[in-house]
Amino acid sequence: MRLTVGGTTYEGRVVDLRGRAVDGATLAAAVRGDRCLPAVASADPPPVYDYCGHVHAAMGLRTRTALAAAGRSRGYETPHDDAIDELREQLASSDPDAPSLPSVRDDVSRSTLADQREAAATQRGRLEARRTLGVDTDAAEQAVREATRTLSERETERVAAEESRRRRRELARAYRDRLAERRQLADALANRQRDARECLVNRLHDRYVAALEAVPGSRPTDPFEASPVTAALAVLRIARTEAPVVVGTDCFADPTAAADVLDAPIIRC
């Protein structure tokens, strides 16, 4: 690895930054590529580093999850992997976003429409009456045209409002169907992932117990009750660790001992 801190460049399998006052969490983030400073050039860390990439006294650890990730770093597979990939793909291909709905149109009430029909009929009646009387019908004809036009406009508006309402309901329903489907997929995915994790943990159980023996720290009767630091070290010993591990505890005699036990590049800080 190659690491630059405050203008000084360090190279090698073990870098000791004690006395440089560099924050371990910052270094771990730089190793993961979440930060660009300090500059770290090293192999890309596998997901197990999300759990164990920074070993320090205040850390917590979901040991089984981390152990499963260690198995993954070694390329272990489970019978659930195909199903997991498929479910992930299905989730990724279903659109989680809410659709944009057509805007709400002012509805034309039935009574408005009835009034307008009546008005049009009245105007037609007037026109008929004037024709029968044989008097001037220009104004009356004009009134009939206007009333008829208004009526047809209102009818069109009403149809458009109904259509927009129907469309909004359809889109909303389809969206909610999609949400329900996504929830089912996410549940199924979580179940499969749990099964896969269990599979990996079972497979690694003996190696984990052996690794606990090899790393510093106390060993409880239940290996999964080991303290986070001890468990993390055991997990790291099992994992393929080509990227540097940030070690912030002094449980090893020196950083080189840590590199030997974990078989990993070490940044001691």
Partner 1 sequence: MLLVVAHSRPARRDLRNVCRAHDDCVVRRFGRAALLSWTEFAAFQALRLHEKHGLDVQLERVVPFEPADVPDHVQEAADTYEDRDHPSTPYARFASGRDLPAPDEMRGADL
Q: Which residues bind partner 1 (CB under 8 A)?
A: 98-99, 101, 172, 175-176, 179-180
We find the least distance from the C-beta atom of residue 97 to partner 1, in angstroms, to be 10
Taking residue 233's Cβ as centre, other Cβ atoms within 10 Å add up to 27
* Smallest separation (angstroms) from partner 1 to the CB of 107: 15
Element (H, E) at 225: none
Contact (Cβ atoms closer than 8 angstroms) between residue 124 and residue 159: no
Greatest extent of the chain over all pairs of C-alpha atoms, in Å:
120
Distance (Å, whole) CA 119 – CA 135: 21
Residue 155 is given by DSSP the state H
Q: Which tokens go with 67? A: 């152990």
Shortest separation between residue 124's beta carbon and partner 1, angstroms: 35
Q: Which lies closer to partner 1 via its Cβ, residue 107 or residue 141?
A: 107
CB of 60 to partner 1, least distance (A): 24
Rounded to whole angstroms, the Cα distance separating 43 from 240 reads: 11
Task: Give whichever of 81 and 107 is closer to partner 1, judged by the CB atom.
Answer: 107
Q: Report, in Å, the least distance between residue 123 CB and partner 1.
A: 37
The residue type of 250 is D
Phi, psi (5° rounding) for residue 55? Answer: -100, 120
Q: Which is nearer to partner 1, 178 or 194 (CB)?
A: 178
Among residues 69, 92, 52, the alpha carbon closest in space to that of 196 is found at 69
- DSSP 8-state symbol, 261: H
Other CB atoms within 10 Å distance of the CB of residue 220: 13
Q: Is 165 exposed, middle or buried (0-12, 13-18, 19+ CB in 10 A)?
A: middle
From the CB of 155, what's the least distance to partner 1, in Å? 23
**Minimum CB distance to partner 1, residue 189 (Å):** 16
d(CA 269, CA 135): 107
Residue among 97 and 138 whose Cβ is closer to partner 1: 97
